[in-house]
């Protein structure tokens, strides 16, 4: 538990917690051995060691079925579509991907890029699907579309398209009338009753870099907006984009594969350069008329589009400085947009997908807001609760629009962040968040109060785990997937019981002490008392994934280790969470090499209580101590924690990492001369920035994968959010560059390996080639591994095995 490792800041910085940490670990485990040795080959082979884990979990519109994608036991990269009958508990395969796609189809460039943006590029078979009516499901596969119909006498499949073109971003319209999709840069629709196909937007003009109904690169990669068209609830209207990328620079990208080189002229808006121009239209399918709602770019962005009724559409735009999200609403008949309200921040705003329509006058959204100053409880030196006064900080919370005005009412509040709104039942709202601890994501419910302060949320899910949630349409049940450091993901169907009574809530508000009769109220109280009613009930497992003798991980379970968690203190007093994982045969009298696994970038959290990365298990079994730390700038800690990196990326984050490394090296069981560091993407950047700013001898080896080396080479939306433009922050860009710190470095670098996919369309390969050239000019020796044809991730069993083997060969040579 966290508290077992907490020490005063001065003691942490002095390394005084080394002995207590060692004492918390089992020391009589030298005889613990694997039933089988965990090899690199087995790490990436099928079946997956984590066991079967459903993904893409969805309820049918009537709530009678739960559907999900499930990897095949003989090929963990290939997914089929399965269903679970809520009434009977029966589970069955709906669509066998091998039957619909016996041979793999070469993906279009657009589909490859979309899968890269969604981080599913390594998957095969069925990678997405869309519910239509309660008995129809749309399945894209192999570049064509298939409609699955569920009937009492069985399942039938109808192929809707069979063309040389690649159809993607397919949807069933809300009313079930049409199936729509993108083909050759335009939106098409098939009338399901007649089978007639028609184009709903103008044709694309590739020679002018104009397409319709699509999402431009930064919308996909940085805004998580993967579509460019949206149906109205009654199927009459279609909102769609016109994307003009003629203003965007062409960056020639050499797609270097094993046997050839293709030059791809990629429209890539680098920091400080022009963005695409995006227009938003509404088309009336009954009359054929079209109305332009707005035009954004190159200095604004279209972020979100949501229908709230048959004749009302909302859209959100973000300014180039990313300090304001503007919410606009448009209504028939003229569709003239009106500014409803804005969210503003001094440094930058973070986007959210939260937009839940309650009724014609009320919408739930989330925004990052300053909290009201209040009292709270912390643990005193003698272990008793002490009341302290908390200064307000911005955290993401739920707000509700009222009567179509710009007055927003707070539904949640507190010094913890909401993750996302997942559903509602009447005026009960369900959301995921980190109210209990930053290390765990839970499902909570709260009531919308007509007046007064927000109601206190109630945690519904079991502590000690992290959860992901899919709510039933009626809000009475949910599918929950949970995992912990000792239990791989389990997926169950849960019933929600009655909420706590007003008396319970009043007692909690009045006492605010850990001896309450109900749920834990402060970070001090870790367990729910037995007198507290269970807020949820497990109906049945969809995938229990029990760690029994038949589990794929069973031959390796004896040597399984779990991380210890603790906290350190940053220079500004903020808390940094870390995890440390020791070898299964750990002996406190010996010393071990250590591996610092780093990411360090925004919107990511690596220290949390869930089923860990099995690569960490492999490292620990090879005799390494694995250390992770979430520095300032990372996710789920509030805006103040994030904002530290504003206009100076790669500077405060490195100082936090070095606080962690100093603590790590102060432990008596760590060999301070054998510490390595590695990371990928932003983690690759952090690896380079850390070794360049660390004192000589801090690290013996470093592996930097797909690193950004100069933020002037990365895209507008991501980079400018944190750094402003290069024109407005020239000094910040210079000092956040790897090359600046390479110039400042006088001490020798640790042993270095660079790794990059040669077709990377996100962090382009020239980030690494420029660093290679600079190191060569300086006479700095380094090792290099490049992967022909691979993009930002190295995909597939063979290449994943090769990459891990390469890393281990390098690390073992220099750390052992």
pLDDT value at 3 more than 50: no
Q: Give pTM, 2 decimals.
A: 0.88
What average pLDDT does this structure show over 375-404?
A: 64
pLDDT value at 741 more than 90: yes
pLDDT confidence of 259, banded at 50, 70, 90?
confident
| Consecutive H or E run containing 220 | helix 217-223
Q: What gap in Å lies between CA 423 and CA 440, rounded to an integer? A: 20
**pLDDT higher at 105 or 515:** 105
Distances (CA, A) of 544 to 47, 79, 613, 681: 16, 19, 20, 34
Is the separation of the CB atoms in 558 and 34 below 8 Å?
Answer: yes
pLDDT in the model for residue 364:
96
The values of phi and psi at residue 251, to 5°, are -105, 105
Q: What gap in Å lies between CA 775 and CA 714, rounded to an integer? A: 21
What average pLDDT does this structure show over 507-519?
A: 42
- Alpha helix ranges (H) inside 572-676: 614-621, 639-643, 652-665
What average pLDDT does this structure show over 310-338?
A: 96
pLDDT in the model for residue 526:
37
What is the number of other CB atoms lying within 10 angstroms of the CB of residue 293?
18
pLDDT in the model for residue 391:
44
pLDDT value at 512 more than 60: no
pLDDT value at 175 more than 80: yes
Q: What gap in Å lies between CA 193 and CA 759, rounded to an integer? A: 43
Highest mean pLDDT pick, 374-383, 518-527, 599-608: 599-608
The values of phi and psi at residue 132, to 5°, are -105, -105
Residue 306 corresponds to which tokens in the numbers above? 């949501």
- Alpha helix ranges (H) inside 680-748: 682-693, 716-723, 730-735, 738-744
Catalytic residue numbers read: 681, 760, 792
Pairing state between β 466-471 and 458-459: unpaired
What share of the chain has pLDDT > 90, as a percent? 76
pLDDT confidence of 114, banded at 50, 70, 90?
confident
Residue 705 corresponds to which tokens in the numbers above? 């994968």
Taking every pair of Cα atoms in the chain, the longest distance, rounded to a whole number of angstroms, is 81
pLDDT in the model for residue 522:
35
With tokens 């189809």, the residue in question is: 105
What is the number of other CB atoms lying within 10 angstroms of the CB of residue 403?
8
Residue 631 corresponds to which tokens in the numbers above? 């520095």
Is the separation of the CB atoms in 129 and 81 below 8 Å?
Answer: yes
pLDDT value at 32 more than 60: no
If phi over 0 gives left and psi between -120 and 50 gives alpha, with beta otherwise, what is residue 776?
alpha
Residue 586 corresponds to which tokens in the numbers above? 């750990």
Pairing state between β 592-597 and 670-680: parallel
Q: For the ranges 58-72, 381-395, 749-763, which has the lowest average pLDDT?
A: 381-395
Q: What gap in Å lies between CA 739 and CA 748, rounded to an integer? A: 15
pLDDT in the model for residue 278:
98
Q: What is the pLDDT of residues 649-664, one digit of tens each?
A: 999 999 999 999 999 9
Is the separation of the CB atoms in 635 and 608 below 8 Å?
Answer: no
> Which long-range contacts (C-beta less than 8 Å, at least 24 apart) are formed by 569-572?
569/9, 569/12, 569/13, 569/659, 570/631, 570/632, 570/652, 570/655, 570/656, 570/659, 571/652, 571/655, 571/659, 572/632, 572/644
Closest CA to 641 of 396, 377, 431: 396
The values of phi and psi at residue 141, to 5°, are -160, 130
Task: Please give the DSSP secondary-structure letter assigned to residue 383.
Answer: S
Closest CA to 595 of 672, 691, 696, 675: 675
pLDDT in the model for residue 406:
67
pLDDT confidence of 256, banded at 50, 70, 90?
confident
If phi over 0 gives left and psi between -120 and 50 gives alpha, with beta otherwise, what is residue 647?
left
- CB proximity list for 545: less than 8 A, separation 6 or greater: 50, 51, 52, 53, 487, 488, 489, 490, 491, 551
pLDDT confidence of 384, banded at 50, 70, 90?
low
Taking the CA of residue 373 as centre, how many other CA atoms within 13 Å lie in the half-sphere pointing to its CB? 4
Average confidence score pLDDT of the chain? 88
Q: What gap in Å lies between CA 659 and CA 546, rounded to an integer? A: 39
Q: How many helices (H) and strands (E) does the chain have?
A: 16, 46
If phi over 0 gives left and psi between -120 and 50 gives alpha, with beta otherwise, what is residue 319?
beta
Q: Give 37: exposed, middle or buried? Use CB within 10 Å, 0-12, 13-18, 19+.
A: exposed
pLDDT in the model for residue 263:
83
Q: What is the pLDDT of residues 435-454, one digit of tens each?
A: 999 999 999 999 999 888 89
Helix then strand then coil, in percent of the chain rounded to 5, is 20, 35, 45
630 - beta bridge partners?
Answer: 577
Is the separation of the CB atoms in 735 and 651 below 8 Å?
Answer: yes
- CB proximity list for 143: less than 8 A, separation 6 or greater: 105, 107, 108, 111, 163, 165, 166, 167, 168
Task: Please give the DSSP secondary-structure letter assigned to residue 206.
Answer: G
pLDDT value at 206 more than 70: yes
Cis before 301 (ω within 30): no
The values of phi and psi at residue 162, to 5°, are -155, 80
753 - beta bridge partners?
Answer: 703, 783
Q: What gap in Å lies between CA 498 and CA 439, rounded to an integer? A: 27
Q: What gap in Å lies between CA 91 and CA 81, rounded to an integer? A: 11
Q: What gap in Å lies between CA 631 and CA 439, rounded to an integer? A: 14
pLDDT in the model for residue 33:
39
pLDDT value at 381 more than 80: no
Q: What gap in Å lies between CA 566 and CA 36, rounded to an integer? A: 31
Q: What is the pLDDT of residues 8-31, one digit of tens each?
A: 333 333 333 332 333 333 333 333
Q: What is the pLDDT of residues 552-586, one digit of tens each?
A: 999 999 999 999 999 999 999 999 999 999 999 99
What is the number of other CB atoms lying within 10 angstroms of the CB of residue 290?
15
Q: What gap in Å lies between CA 276 and CA 296, rounded to an integer? A: 8
HEC string of 7-64 equals: CCHHHHHCCCCHHHHHHCCCCCCCCCCCCCCCCHHHHCCCCCCCCCCCEEEEECCCCC
pLDDT confidence of 534, banded at 50, 70, 90?
confident
pLDDT in the model for residue 404:
58
């Amino acid at each position: 538990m966290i508290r077992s490792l907490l020490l005063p800041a001065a003691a942490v910085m002095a390394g005084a917690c080394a002995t207590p940490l060692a004492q918390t670990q089992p020391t009589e485990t030298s005889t613990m051995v694997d039933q089988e040795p965990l090899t690199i080959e087995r790490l990436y082979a099928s079946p997956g060691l984590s066991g079967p884990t459903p993904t893409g979990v969805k309820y049918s519109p009537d709530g009678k079925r739960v559907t999900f994608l499930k990897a095949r036991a003989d090929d963990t990269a290939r997914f089929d579509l399965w269903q679970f009958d809520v009434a009977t508990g029966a589970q069955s395969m709906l669509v066998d991907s091998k039957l619909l796609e016996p041979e793999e189809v070469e993906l279009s460039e657009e589909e490859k890029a979309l899968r890269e943006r969604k981080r599913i590029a390594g998957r095969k078979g069925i990678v997405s699907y869309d519910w239509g009516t309660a008995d129809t499901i749309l399945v894209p596969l192999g570049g064509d579309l298939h409609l699955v119909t569920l009937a009492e006498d069985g399942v039938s499949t109808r192929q809707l398209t069979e063309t040389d073109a690649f159809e993607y971003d397919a949807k069933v319209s809300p009313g079930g009338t049409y199936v729509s999709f993108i083909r050759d840069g335009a939106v098409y629709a098939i009338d399901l009753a007649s089978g007639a196909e028609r184009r709903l937007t103008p044709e694309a003009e590739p020679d002018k870099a104009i397409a319709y109904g699509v999402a431009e690169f930064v919308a996909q990669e940085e805004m998580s907006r993967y579509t460019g068209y949206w149906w109205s609830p009654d199927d009459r209207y279609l909102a769609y984009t016109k994307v003009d990328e003629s203003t965007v620079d062409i960056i020639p990208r050499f797609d270097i594969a094993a046997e050839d080189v293709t030059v791809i002229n990629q429209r890539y808006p680098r920091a400080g350069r022009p963005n695409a121009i995006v227009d938003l239209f509404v088309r009336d399918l009954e009359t054929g008329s079209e109305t332009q709602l707005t035009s954004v770019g190159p200095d604004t962005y279209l972020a979100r589009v949501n229908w709230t009724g048959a004749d009302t559409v909302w859209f959100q735009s973000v300014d180039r400085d990313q300090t304001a999200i503007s919410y606009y609403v448009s209504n028939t008949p003229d569709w003239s947009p009106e500014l409803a309200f804005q969210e503003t921040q001094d440094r930058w705003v973070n986007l959210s997908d939260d937009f839940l329509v309650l009724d014609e006058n009320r919408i739930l959204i989330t925004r990052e807001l300053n909290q009201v100053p209040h009292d709270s409880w912390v643990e005193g030196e003698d272990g008793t609760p002490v009341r302290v006064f908390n200064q307000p900080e911005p955290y993401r919370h739920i707000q509700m629009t009222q009567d179509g005005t710009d007055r927003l009412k707070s539904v949640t509040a507190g010094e913890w962040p909401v993750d996302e709104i997942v559903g509602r039942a009447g005026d009960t709202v369900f959301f995921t968040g980190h109210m209990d601890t930053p290390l765990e994501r839970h499902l909570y419910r709260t009531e919308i109060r007509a007046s007064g302060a927000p109601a206190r949320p109630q945690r519904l899910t079991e502590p000690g785990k992290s959860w992901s949630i899919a709510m039933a349409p009626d809000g009475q049940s949910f599918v929950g997937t949970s995992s912990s450091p000792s239990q791989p993901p389990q997926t169950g169907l849960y019933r929600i019981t009655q909420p706590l009574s007003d008396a319970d809530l009043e007692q909690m508000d009045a006492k605010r002490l850990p001896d309450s009769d109900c749920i834990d109220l402060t970070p001090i109280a870790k367990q729910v008392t037995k007198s507290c009613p269970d807020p949820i009930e497990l109906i049945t497992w969809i995938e229990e994934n029990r760690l029994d003798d038949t589990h794929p991980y069973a031959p390796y379970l004896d040597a399984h280790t779990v991380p210890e968690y603790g906290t350190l203190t940053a220079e500004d007093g903020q808390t940094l969470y870390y995890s440390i994982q020791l070898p299964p045969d750990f002996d406190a009298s010996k010393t071990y090499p250590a591996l610092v696994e780093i990411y360090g970038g925004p919107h990511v959290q690596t220290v949390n209580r869930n089923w860990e990365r099995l690569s960490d298990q492999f490292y620990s079994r090879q005799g390494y101590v694995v250390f992770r730390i979430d520095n300032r700038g990372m996710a789920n800690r509030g805006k103040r924690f994030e904002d530290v990196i504003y206009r100076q990326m790669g500077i405060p984050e490195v100082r936090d990492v070095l606080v962690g490394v100093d603590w790590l090296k102060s432990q008596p069981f760590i060999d301070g001369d054998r510490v390595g560091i590695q990371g990928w993407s932003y983690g690759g950047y952090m690896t380079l920035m850390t070794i360049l700013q660390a004192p000589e001898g801090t690290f013996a080896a470093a592996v930097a994968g797909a690193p950004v080396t100069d933020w002037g080479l990365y895209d507008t939306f991501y980079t400018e959010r944190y750094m402003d433009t290069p024109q407005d922050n020239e000094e910040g860009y210079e000092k956040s560059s790897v090359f600046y710190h390479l110039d400042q470095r006088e001490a020798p670098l640790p042993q270095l390996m660079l790794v990059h996919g040669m077709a990377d369309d996100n962090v382009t390969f020239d980030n690494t080639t420029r660093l290679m050239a600079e190191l060569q000019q300086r006479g700095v020796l380094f090792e290099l591994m490049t992967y022909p044809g691979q993009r930002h991730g190295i995909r597939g069993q063979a290449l994943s095995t090769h990459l891990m083997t390469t890393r281990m060969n390098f690390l073992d040579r220099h750390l052992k």
